[in-house]
Structure 1
Amino acid sequence: MCKGLSSLPSSCLERAKGMRVKFSHLAETHHKHKVQDWRTPQDLETLLNHKGGQQAFHGFLRSEFSEENLEFWLACEDYEVSPCNLQKIKAGSIYSRFINPDAPKEVNLDAETRETLLSMIDSPYPEMFKAAQHTIYTLMAKDSFPRFLRSHPCIEAIRAF
């Protein structure tokens, strides 16, 4: 049977009051200044722009056996900023890891996109994967991200704050 708050040690009650004050201050700051933090993500982009958010989301995707989507998106981000002399190597790696129909972490792309990428693999350019990356981003934003927001890993990451 619940004895109420009076049964808790006063040190616990003081600590809880302190945490409540801190959280209410953070909520006010967030509301007034529209601070974007991955722990209160409004969209997938906010989450992906923070290393901690990426890690929490990756853990969630791994638990759902769909981490290849985030890994592909991150590989495309890395590819885009790679020096020209590394792009051909990285493009081949991305194709063989994520796009080839026999890829170990194949992402869900239509046949036309796959064929287009295969035709460009020998002459890569910085935005070569942009359309495919956008397709996977949209898939994560509409499917995985909303589930992540309701998931245990997301709730635990917020509590850890």
Structure 2
Amino acid sequence: MCKGLSSLPSSCLEKAKEMRVKLSHLAETHHKQKVQDGKALQDLDTLLNSKVGRQAFREFLRSEFSEENLEFWLACKDYRVTSLNLQKTKSSSIYCQFINPDAPQEVNLDAETREALLSVTGSPCADTFSNAQQRIYNLMAKDSFPRFLRSPHCMEAIKAL
């Protein structure tokens, strides 16, 4: 023990030990929470359902010039709950913004999926974009999301949780 500490009253030493135990417990609890938050971000569904996670992922995708994937996925999610009388208008809007080869935010879909969408745009239903939305989800899950987990954007999201 250091000479300075041996001269302190035993009550001070006891208080210092109690504080050390409490700080140790607090640090352990904080570490466990960070690990849990990090694990939550390892699941794309959880990330997309979190406002903070979705925003961090959006910023990451923007930095990689692929934000259109998330925007398309969200537009499809919104479309699915659109009333019947607005489906044709929203369907056309989604097609013009994301599917059309000259679209301002064209997403990377295979020709077969693109053709299937073109054939049903005249008579849309709630599931019109389901297949395309799933393909873009898979693209994000297998390509963008693993890179996001290694990025500073992910660390910022974990800190904000």
TM bucket (normalised to shorter chain) is 0.7 to 0.9
- With CA pairs under 8 Å and 6+ residues apart, which has the higher RCO, 1 or 2? 2
Distance 1:25 1:101, change over 3 A: closer
Task: Give the secondary structure class of the aligned counterpart of 1:85.
Answer: helix
Aligned to 1:127: 127
Unaligned runs of 5+ in 2: 1-19
Aligned to 1:136: 136
Find out whether 1:26 has 2:33 as its counterpart.
yes
How big is the shift at 1:114?
1.1
How big is the shift at 1:63?
0.6
Task: Give the secondary structure class of the aligned counterpart of 1:55.
Answer: helix
- Please say if residues 68 and 98 of structure 2, whose CA atoms lie closer than 8 Å, have aligned partners that are also in contact: yes
Larger radius of gyration: 2
Distance in 2 between residues matched to 1:38 and 1:84, nearest whole Å: 40
Structure 1 counterpart of 2:130, one-letter code: K
Structure 2 counterpart of 1:48, one-letter code: L
Distance in 2 between residues matched to 1:53 and 1:86, nearest whole Å: 30
How big is the shift at 1:152?
0.7
Aligned to 1:46: 46
Higher helix share: 2
Distance 1:39 1:54, change over 3 A: farther
Unaligned runs of 5+ in 1: 1-13, 31-36
Distance 1:148 1:25, change over 3 A: closer
Distance 1:26 1:148, change over 3 A: same
TM-score normalised by structure 1 residue count: 0.79
How big is the shift at 1:53?
1.1
Aligned to 1:105: 105
How many residues align structurally? 142
Aligned to 1:34: none
Find out whether 1:116 has 2:116 as its counterpart.
yes
Structure 2 counterpart of 1:80, one-letter code: R
TM-score normalised by structure 2 residue count: 0.79
Distance in 1 between residues matched to 2:38 and 2:128, nearest whole Å: 28
> Percent of aligned positions with the same letter in both sequences?
61
Residues 45-84 of structure 1: per-residue CA shift (max 9 Å, x gap): 1111111111110010001100000000000000001111
Q: Structure 1 segments of 4 or more deviating over 6 A?
A: none
How big is the shift at 1:122?
1.2
